Amino acid sequence: MALNTHDCRALTGAGYWIPAALREQVLSEATLETSWGLRAQLVAPQTPGATAALWPRLRPEGWRALWEGLRAAPPVSVAALEAALQRVMARLRDPQDALHQAAATLLPRHTGFQTAMLDFAFGFFEHLPTEDLARMVNWEPPAAARRGFVPLPGMPGSVRFFDAAPLGWMRGLWASALTRPIPLPRTVVGYAAGNIPGAALLITLLGQLLNPQPALLVRNSRREPFFTPLLLAALEELDPALVANVAVLIWDYDDAALQASILREADLLLLVAGDGTIARLEEDVRRAGATPRIHRHGHKISFLAVERSFLTAERLSMVAPLAALDTLIWDQNGCLSPRLHFVEEGGAFTPEDYADAVTEALRPLSLRFPGGLPELRHLHSRFDKFQSLAVGGRATVHSAYDDPFLVVVDRRPYASATLAEAINDARDRTVIVRPVSGLEAIPRDYLRRLPARNLQTLSVALDSHGQDFLRFAEAVGRCGVTALRTVGRAAFPGLTHSWDGLLPCDLRTVRALGHYTTCEFDDAVAQIRETASKLGLEGC
């Protein structure tokens, strides 16, 4: 189970992970299956360029041994986990290290994401504030969070709860507590899907923050099966106890009996998957007669907003590379990837100037982080479409045909269908700049017209000390946005803050139906400066 360089040479890797102490017993008489992937797609065996993920099909005795073993694991110290994680991440970033080499060999082919981008994004795990996360698990927002943003303890930002019930706001008038503690889940089952590395690892980390840790089983993604097993193996090398309660496996969704037996084991389901998969899993839960709590992290839509105060020579040169970076990461197919860039009119520079600046920033960044998945033909197709709009004066095209990205300013009237079309077009490194007369137009004219359950992040470049900021944050949160994050941080989701409307304390509390919205900053301008400085992107 440890890193196997032979496997790497053969472009075959483990798509599963089982603690060493259980491995022999669990895998006894299991059959080994292979799943082939290439550029985020499952492909036929031996497809040229494809990588193969191995996974075991366990026998019933193996499953029994696995559950027993995971439940018998010793408790883990969060401090030990954080220290170990940092050592593992240092290895992951060291090109000479076998861990880095394994990831660099397997992941780009299988996921379609290039090594440079993966290396950059792995920085997220290096700076993961595990101890802060553990603290947040035990912090419950006060009832005042129903009425307005309240500060988060010991970290930047604030949180607000939006009740989904039609008259839910009335609860804020008398309810004394927002949350109610419940017994900790003893078994957590996660489902990780998609090709963005680390979904299974995030689920694992959330589970490990509970004290005592639950038995934790994660269904691994076949589109990105390698990253989590590699890291868990590396953590185990440091201390087997750190991950003795964790297994990451692939199993067949269509095996109804197996699926039902797993779902019946769960006290809590963490679903990080597409909306279709989540719906299917919910149906499986119903059929299985299981009653776990369910945390859903489906496919999401994010946006970016730029206040006119940032359209100055000094600030635009800082913001444009960060906005470009947010667009590039995961080839703009991530849930945090901004789709429309709302840019306020009336600044020293126009939205068209912003588009030019983003274009100029994207050119060197595209060389530094080449796209793996976007097909130029899709960009060309959108290029032609917006050229056609440009003829009618409804758009301007700022990138060139040969750029591996597209930047446009879209001034069409947005009927609902046009808005949906624009959002769907903003993929594969397509920046659609949407001029707005004021930031208040963003919730009023756009977000309100979209399904609240699909909204996620609004990356912002604004002055959070401005008098209208809280009203703006309140309005976008009410529309369904769950995170306000400063521009340039799309690759680094703040797990300590709201993740799709859920806070870490939701692992151990219940509350009314609704969502948390967090502002992940106290001083947006200062944080943007800090991000720009840390990433060294100024002047891109």
Partner 1 sequence: MLELPEFYALPPPQRDQRLITAVMEQHEWHYSRNVAYRRHCTSRGIGARISESDFARVLRPTAQTFKSYVGELGTAFPQDCPADFARWLAEQISVEVLPERWRGLRARYGSLEALLAALEVLFAVEGWRIATSSGTSGRASIMVRDEETFSLALDSFFLGIQHAWGIDLDYRLIFVMPEQTRIAMAQAARFGTEKLGYAARGQVAYTVPFPASPDVIRIRAARTLRPGIRGWLERQIAAPFMNWMGEHVAMPRSIRGTVDALRQSAIAGEKIMLFGGPIQLHGVALALRRDGGLDLPPDCLVGTGGGMKEAYAYSYTEIRRDIVSTLRSGEQPIRIRDVYGMAEANWGSFECPEGHYHLPPWLYALVLDSADEVIAAPDAEGVLAFFDPFGGGKLFPPFFKTTDRVHLINGGRWYDPARACPCGEPTAYIEAGSIARADLFDESGCAGQV
Binders of partner 1 in range 440-499 (CB under 8 A): 450-451, 454
Between residues 141 and 501, which has the closer beta carbon with respect to partner 1? 501
Query: Is the peptide bond preceding residue 212 cis, with omega within 30 degrees of 0?
Result: yes
Task: Specify whether the CB–CB gap between 515 and 478 falls below 8 A.
Answer: no
Distance of closest approach, residue 272 Cβ to partner 1, in angstroms: 8
Binders of partner 1 in range 164-203 (CB under 8 A): 194-196, 199
Q: Give the rounded distance of the alpha carbon of 321 from its chain centre.
A: 21
Query: Rounded to an integer, what distance in angstroms lies between the CA atom of residue 251 and that of residue 116?
Result: 31
Between residues 456 and 509, which has the closer beta carbon with respect to partner 1? 456
The binder of partner 1 chosen from 394, 444, 448, 529 (CB under 8 A): 394
388 binds partner 1 (CB under 8 A): yes
Best CA proximity match to 48, nearest among 56, 60, 36: 36
Distance of closest approach, residue 459 Cβ to partner 1, in angstroms: 14
The binder of partner 1 chosen from 373, 458, 491, 524 (CB under 8 A): 373
367 binds partner 1 (CB under 8 A): no
The binder of partner 1 chosen from 189, 270, 335, 484 (CB under 8 A): 335
93 binds partner 1 (CB under 8 A): no
326 binds partner 1 (CB under 8 A): no
Distance of closest approach, residue 40 Cβ to partner 1, in angstroms: 4
The binder of partner 1 chosen from 49, 60, 151, 274 (CB under 8 A): 274
Nearest-5° angle of CA 180, CA 265, CA 235?
85
Between residues 14 and 397, which has the closer beta carbon with respect to partner 1? 397
299 binds partner 1 (CB under 8 A): yes
- Collect all residues with Cβ–Cβ distance below 8 Å to 156 and sequence separation of at least 6: 520, 521, 522, 523, 527
112 binds partner 1 (CB under 8 A): yes
Between residues 132 and 331, which has the closer beta carbon with respect to partner 1? 331
Binders of partner 1 in range 413-432 (CB under 8 A): 413, 419-420, 423-424, 427
Q: Which among 70-78, 165-173, 314-322, 382-390 is the span making contact with partner 1, rule CB under 8 A?
A: 382-390
The binder of partner 1 chosen from 34, 49, 94, 401 (CB under 8 A): 401
The binder of partner 1 chosen from 65, 73, 209, 301 (CB under 8 A): 301
Task: Specify whether the CB–CB gap between 498 and 516 falls below 8 A.
Answer: yes
Task: Specify whether the CB–CB gap between 199 and 210 falls below 8 A.
Answer: no
Task: Specify whether the CB–CB gap between 50 and 37 falls below 8 A.
Answer: yes
Task: Specify whether the CB–CB gap between 369 and 116 falls below 8 A.
Answer: yes
DSSP, res 179 = E
Best CA proximity match to 500, nearest among 456, 452, 450, 451: 456
Distance of closest approach, residue 455 Cβ to partner 1, in angstroms: 9
Q: Which among 43-51, 58-66, 351-359, 396-404 is the span making contact with partner 1, rule CB under 8 A?
A: 396-404
Query: Rounded to an integer, what distance in angstroms lies between the CA atom of residue 229 and that of residue 416?
Result: 43
Residue 71's SS3 state is: helix
120 binds partner 1 (CB under 8 A): no
Query: Rounded to an integer, what distance in angstroms lies between the CA atom of residue 359 and that of residue 324?
Result: 8
153 binds partner 1 (CB under 8 A): no
Task: Specify whether the CB–CB gap between 364 and 448 falls below 8 A.
Answer: no
The binder of partner 1 chosen from 82, 97, 239, 275 (CB under 8 A): 275
Task: Specify whether the CB–CB gap between 354 and 341 falls below 8 A.
Answer: yes
331 binds partner 1 (CB under 8 A): yes
Query: Rounded to an integer, what distance in angstroms lies between the CA atom of residue 292 and that of residue 29?
Result: 31
Query: Rounded to an integer, what distance in angstroms lies between the CA atom of residue 368 and that of residue 114?
Result: 10
Distance of closest approach, residue 92 Cβ to partner 1, in angstroms: 21
- Collect all residues with Cβ–Cβ distance below 8 Å to 183 and sequence separation of at least 6: none
Interface with partner 1 by CB under 8 A: which residues? 40-41, 112, 194-196, 199, 223, 272, 274-275, 298-301, 330-335, 337, 339, 373, 375-378, 380-381, 383-385, 387-389, 391-392, 394, 397, 401-402, 412-413, 419-420, 423-424, 427, 450-451, 454
